[in-house]
Structure 1
């Protein structure tokens, strides 16, 4: 713990930690699931006897990882269920369902010893913001980013009432329609995401801004629970939604709306959600950290094999994990997306969730250049009242939080040398609207953007 549990109980923290801000983002789980602090073994779980060199034995066999029941969490679930964590000595990995992102944040501040979690799945840059105390009421809880969990798996959905209005990947021709929505409907065009100032907020902001829409003035952009958002799309009070799989399938299949774009179209093979753990846990358990990473890497490799996708769906769909019908999870794991609104369907395995490798390189490795993009976007939109002041400060935070060195060590020890990147940068990133992000010159990226706060 980082000087927290001795001062505050969990109850006090939940009452005092950013109460006014938290009230707007206390979301239900991405599929409407309640929190689940137990994780009973399922019929698929495999726990082989660990055959570990005593010198490499982890300091502990236990860790509690939080997750949100969406496809980003699948490799953690598979690591537990298929015995990949146990293979490296981590025989007691508790993969604990969180009610929402705010609950995950609060639980990692408390830590597992206080009834919370040691780390888990995160939208970016939550680990950096938690480390700096920016979204934890000033309470700094140092965290380490250890691996990227996934690429792809997200998109922007638009309500049925907007069919035929040009709200697809490029909305530049629909900008006047969106900006003029209030004059004809009595309210601004309203869009939602699941948590402010992180991944899904960034994706929909980029999409709007690329089409000439200022997400802070031309529309209402809010953090709203997914179930409430979808109901609003159904009854005509919500217009767009930044969402992750398997929501796109449900939205189109139930004729609630259409998919304007997949994030894989906005930014090909983009960074998505990450594994991050409290720094004090990692520093106390360096061997256990690398054992966990090795198990995660094997799980990610298993997840990417097409022949394993059917079993992956069967495992993740179970009640104690995602609690959704198999039919809902199957299409994205095949790379099949019905887009709606007269758009051609997408049938491409590589447009769906990928966990280990894509056409650019390794998915699991946590590139520092990707952390830099997330914090550059934080600067772009003027988030957090200037607590992150400039690119130099962003780089300093990344160097403290990103532990790609541990990923490299674990990959080498596990024999995955061929998949270890040669640089902490993936190089220049390209977006659908022609913009580029060069991590060697983030300011040039900011300067190229027409809509920004900085």
Structure 2
């Protein structure tokens, strides 16, 4: 049985076929050049032509307000703004607005830019689906569209210094140390993430459960702001943190703790955060939406060029964006991670954040199979009192929220290489570090195979 509706599949096949004639790889350019010029910029060793912006499509509007959180996942939005890619496609009035936290971003997208909020931006998954259904907005349904994945990797699970030499790595060697923490320390082992029931919550839950630790009963798992969490790790009141760059570098460099695992080690080239907009904005401005997509996709290519990483660090570390010392971004963007606690250092460019392509294929493309994994985990943990009730409901919601068709149209119009345009809405079977597999054609089997779950 197919995961997604026949209508969605027909639309996908039609657009993918139309895209197959695109043979140019987009340019990772600096400041926008004259569109008749060529460029010597490269991704890896491949020389890139200038962008094909002559599609004859003028955006309905030139302004939009996009929210971002100051972590590496937001880099494509920052770069598209600072390097002129938005301007390149006629979106000359894009505002990239720093959000205080995920709750603020959620609240701001509900009121929209007309009410002083935002039209969309960067999201953990499956926030767009939950906002669409009113599940995390007090029943206020604000339909959203997922348009692109922003990045893969760039996350990990940090452990406080008081838990050194306890065998906490890819697997927890002594689960009873964690389970018996309250008996020995007078409190439960305490772990944190930045927002409940989304990416970083999923990563740390999966890690604990894979070693037989129930994140709902054996530990205290809380949503806590990063700065407060790190201070708790420093003082010995917080034991673990599911977090993204640049925090892993700071935690190890400041000797607050160590990294038990990088998400790259947990699930290579996993889906991370996404670009999603209010559906009403997209429906009213389809040409402007595709212009935004083209700009973000070019920015993703620019970000993945190793020759651009130093400039990427300088831009993102700036006061208007991440507001951190540049050195805390340099190592992650080189794929260099000092894990601490006697673990060997990671030195692999592909272990750090990637934005356009990885060893499997497209990073930017919003695979529906990945949406399904996030909603399967939502069912696994019975989040939101079982609001996502079954796989039919999950697939229907994905078909309404995921706009892979717009990604394909934008890629075709921009002239991306055919090899960079996926030919399936599914990335296929995914394999995790503990040997568990997720087959999007049979998510029921994945859910049944998990020993610790609420479903």
- TM-score, normalization by structure 1: 0.89
State the Cα deviation string for residues 57-81 of structure 1 (Å, max 9, x = none): 1001101000000000001100011
Checking the alignment, whether the CA contact within 8 Å between 2:55 and 2:413 is kept in structure 1 is no
Counterpart for residue 299 of structure 2: 299
Checking the alignment, whether the CA contact within 8 Å between 1:145 and 1:275 is kept in structure 2 is yes
Ranges in structure 2 where 5+ consecutive residues have no aligned partner: 1-29, 37-52
**1:304-453 paired onto structure 2 within 5 Å:** 304-416=304-416, 417-453=418-454
Q: What's the secondary structure of 1:176's corresponding residue?
A: helix
Aligned residues: 410
Cα deviation, residue 142, structure 1: 0.2
Cα deviation, residue 169, structure 1: 1.0
User: Are residue 227 (structure 1) and residue 227 (structure 2) matched?
Assistant: yes
Cα deviation, residue 53, structure 1: 4.7
Counterpart for residue 159 of structure 1: 160
State the Cα deviation string for residues 365-384 of structure 1 (Å, max 9, x = none): 00000000000000000001
Cα deviation, residue 418, structure 1: 2.5
Separation of aligned partners in 2, 1:411 and 1:54? 12
Compared CA separation, residues 50 and 85, structure 1 to 2 (3 A): farther
Separation of aligned partners in 2, 1:55 and 1:298? 19
- TM-score, normalization by structure 2: 0.89
Separation of aligned partners in 2, 1:288 and 1:418? 25
Counterpart for residue 88 of structure 1: 89
Q: What's the secondary structure of 2:56's corresponding residue?
A: helix
Cα deviation, residue 92, structure 1: 1.1
Counterpart for residue 116 of structure 1: 117
Separation of aligned partners in 1, 2:118 and 2:213? 39
Cα deviation, residue 386, structure 1: 1.5
Counterpart for residue 103 of structure 1: 104
Checking the alignment, whether the CA contact within 8 Å between 1:50 and 1:89 is kept in structure 2 is no
State the Cα deviation string for residues 201-250 of structure 1 (Å, max 9, x = none): 00000000001000000000000011110000001000000000010000
Q: What's the secondary structure of 1:56's corresponding residue?
A: coil
Cα deviation, residue 174, structure 1: 1.8
**1:69-84 paired onto structure 2 within 5 Å:** 69-84=70-85
**1:178-327 paired onto structure 2 within 5 Å:** 178-327=178-327
Cα deviation, residue 50, structure 1: 8.3
User: Are residue 141 (structure 1) and residue 145 (structure 2) matched?
Assistant: no
Q: What's the secondary structure of 1:421's corresponding residue?
A: coil
Ranges in structure 1 where 5+ consecutive residues have no aligned partner: 1-44
Q: What's the secondary structure of 1:432's corresponding residue?
A: coil
Separation of aligned partners in 1, 2:340 and 2:332? 15
State the Cα deviation string for residues 286-335 of structure 1 (Å, max 9, x = none): 00000000011100000000000000000001000110001111000000
What RMSD, in angstroms, separates the aligned Cα atoms of the two structures?
1.4
